[in-house]
Amino acid sequence: MSPGGYFAVAAIFTFVALICLRTHRDLLALIIIAASWTAISILVLTDRLSFDGTFLSRSGLGALAQRVFRRSPPSIAVADIERLEVTSLRTLRRGGNVRYRYRVEIVSRDSVLSFASGRQFLKMIKALLPSIPEHKLDVRACELRDHLANLKDVRADAERLGIAPAVVLENAREAAEKRIEKHRREGRTEALGEDLDRAASLRHAANDLRMVGRLQQSAEGFRRALLIEPHNARMIYEYARLLKSQASAFGDARLLGRACAALRLAARRGPQDARLLERIGESFLEYCDPPRAARVFRRALDVDEDSYRAQLGLAEVALSDGKLAHVIHHYNEAVRVAPDKAAARLARREADYYARLNNDEDYLAAEVRRMNWLEGAGLVQRLTARVSFAALLIALLGSSFDQMVAGLGWALASSSIIGWSGSLIIRRFLATRNRVEPSDA
């Protein structure tokens, strides 16, 4: 299981122990440190997630506490999963390489389970995600399912295909761009079957390289594959996803513009592929372009009028425009075309929630207040986290120069930690909206 919550509690107790040391309560500080980190270590090591092909189950002391205090089951049946979302965090950047840490959140009607990158993460992904229907997976989840692999195997595959390391590619970028431009001017004939096989291998390797953070090598793989198959719509879409990853990693707005252009080209090259159009629309939403996303979702519905994810996407677009009636309509349409009961239950619950927002002014006002407080608590949490680290540094260094500066640092750090803890608790309470039971319709 994701250990973030446990480590947050451990950090708070560690700070309390530091305060005790400062006030010369050495024995109490030792007891707090030993007890808290021993208990946290036991909780982290015993809190496990297992999958038997049918049920995703949580075990350990954390699961026992969840069962006692929340009265919610620590397991989810695959058939009851309503959605699965993946978030990624860049933890290291060096040259053309990025290290990603993934967090997977699985949502059902009664419970939420999450787990993050670790020793058994790849094994869990390969066992769990193929068993979940694609209409419940977001874009990143599909990419993890299809392309997350062991780093050693990805490197070996890249070496076999002749994709050079990032350092070599950085020095040869200008020459590569000149070769590509010359190739475009000269034109090309239809690719042979052997070329198509190599293009497929390069494309697969490029996607694998992107998922493990080898962005420079991934770009080179896509360049070579697109020289062989320049009209492959799905490959162009995957190349757009790479450009977005590079834009985020390196803070390059120009690359984001190229990613949007590649998405438009992919939609033009694959006008009859409803599944591809759904993912392109979701990518436009991710890239903050709701109008273009809406057009692509409607094209997906023209191809397949029972497109569940297109209806969900149009509901999100309507929500960004503040059109609650349209949001309700698209969620009701999603209920109608939902492939299974869990998907229909999710869409019906969302439709009921926004219908109540639209019809009940008191409920709308209460929800607006909750969202404003939630946003405010998030701002406070981020601010106090930064201030606490800076104040703790001042307190530790100031003790060597001036005790007044050290005392000011400890006071500021204590206030920040209290504010951070309070905002964290408030966000936990405010994150859950007032429950609306789905209708039986």
Strand 97-107 and strand 83-94: the pairing is antiparallel
**pLDDT for residue 311:** 95
In this predicted model, which residue has the larger pLDDT, 185 or 255?
Answer: 255
Integer Cα distance of 70 and 88 in angstroms = 28
Give strand pairing partners of 98: 93
Higher pLDDT, residue 18 or 188: 18
232, 223 contact by CB (below 8 A):
no
What residue spans define the domains of the chain? Answer: 238-359, 362-430
- Paired tokens of 353: 């929630």
The alpha-helical segments, DSSP class H, found in 165-270 are 166-171, 173-186, 193-211, 215-228, 233-250, 253-269
Mean pLDDT in residue range 250-262: 89
| pTM flag (> 0.75) | yes
Helix (H) or strand (E) holding 86: strand 83-94
Distance, in Å, from the CA atom of 203 to the CA atom of 201, rounded to the nearest integer, reads 5
User: At 189, is the secondary structure helix, strand, or coil?
Assistant: coil
Fold assignment, 238-359: 1.25.40
- Flag whether pLDDT at 247 surpasses 80: yes
116's CB contacts (< 8 A; 6+ apart) are: 2, 3, 4, 101, 102, 103, 104
For residues 319 and 321, give the distance between their C-alpha atoms in angstroms, rounded to a whole number: 5
Q: Spell out where 55-189 has E strands.
A: 55-59, 75-77, 83-94, 97-107, 112-116
The CA-CA-CA angle for residues 229, 247, 158, to 5°, reads: 50
Q: Which residues pair with 94 in a beta bridge?
A: 97
- Taking Cα atoms as reference points, which of 215, 197, 239 lies closest to residue 94? 215
pLDDT at 14 over 60: yes
Q: Pull the structure tokens for residue 13.
A: 């107790």
The confidence score (pLDDT) of residue 381 equals: 85
Q: What distance in Å separates the CA atoms of residue 253 and residue 260, rounded to the nearest whole number?
A: 11
The pLDDT tens digits for 296-313 are 999 999 999 999 999 999
The mean of the pLDDT values for the chain is 84
Q: Which residue has the tokens 């759904």?
A: 278
Give the mean model confidence (pLDDT) for residues 336-360. Answer: 92
The predicted model gives 194-212 an average pLDDT of: 88
